[in-house]
Amino acid sequence: MLFFRKITLFISVTLLIGCVSPKPVSTTEANYQEDILLRVKNYSGLINLYRTWLKKKDDPETRLKLARYYYLAGDYKTSLYTLQPLINKPSQPLYQLQAQNMIALGDFAQAIRVTDKMMLRDKNNAEAWNLRGVAQALSGKLSEGKQSVEQARALFIADDVALNNLAMVAILDRRYQDAVGLLLPQYLRGRKDERILRNLVLSLVKVGDFRYARDVIRDENLSQHPDELISALKQITTTGRSLG
């Protein structure tokens, strides 16, 4: 689910920011407005929309969605801050978002503690095992991380999520050929999530398959300068223990 913190492959696309009208008068109009903003990944617009709604009525569902959009916009600290009033009303979605923010901030030990809470409520929670595995791997506990992600897969988390995270563990362990073996079949089946593409390109570069890496970069419009990107990726040294 996560491309590790200290490797930035591409410049993030600037979010579309526009004026947001007052809260719609109907649920249908509200859903339509939210759907449009989601389609263009206008997280700033969604944040403004949900802040407006939350001012009028502070309810857990609206607050949780606002925190989610802060997370998607990359404002992890504000996302956690927004969740604070819900701490006394614990739920699996709350814990999940907390763990995701903590992983993004590099607080892996705390993220693992949150997954412990998730598992106390449901020991077969696939997402808890997945997040635990990511946090473990990024903190350098590669073997434990792999086992946790495999447990998430056994509990039927989405295959592309599990395989991408297993590939991430392989990349951190410098087993790039294993990562290609996990990701390339996904790509050929039409799975083109950005994280899968980034991990696949990095792995292809690391095994020396520059031609295929260049083809993927061009075909998926990952960069206007494929050769420059490939040259930069050649210089990256991946290690789980350097990411804490």
Q: Which domains does the chain have, with CATH numbers?
A: 158-244 (1.25.40)
- A 10 A CB-CB count for 18 gives 11
Q: Of the candidates 121, 82, 80, 83, which has an alpha carbon nearest to the alpha carbon of residue 102?
A: 80
Q: Contact 192/29 with Cβ under 8 angstroms?
A: no
pLDDT tens digits along 152-201: 999 999 999 999 999 999 999 999 999 999 999 999 999 999 999 999 99
Q: Of the candidates 13, 7, 14, which has an alpha carbon nearest to the alpha carbon of residue 198?
A: 7
pLDDT tens digits along 53-98: 999 999 999 999 999 999 999 999 999 999 999 999 999 999 999 9
**What's the confidence (pLDDT) of residue 241?**
36
Q: Contact 171/197 with Cβ under 8 angstroms?
A: no
In whole numbers, what is the pLDDT of the chain averaged over residues? 87
pTM: 0.85
**What's the confidence (pLDDT) of residue 205?**
97
pLDDT tens digits along 109-161: 999 999 999 999 999 999 999 999 999 999 999 999 999 999 999 999 999 99
The helix-helix angle for 159-172 and 176-188 (nearest 10°) equals 160
Long-range contacts of 212-215 (CB under 8 A, 24+ apart): none
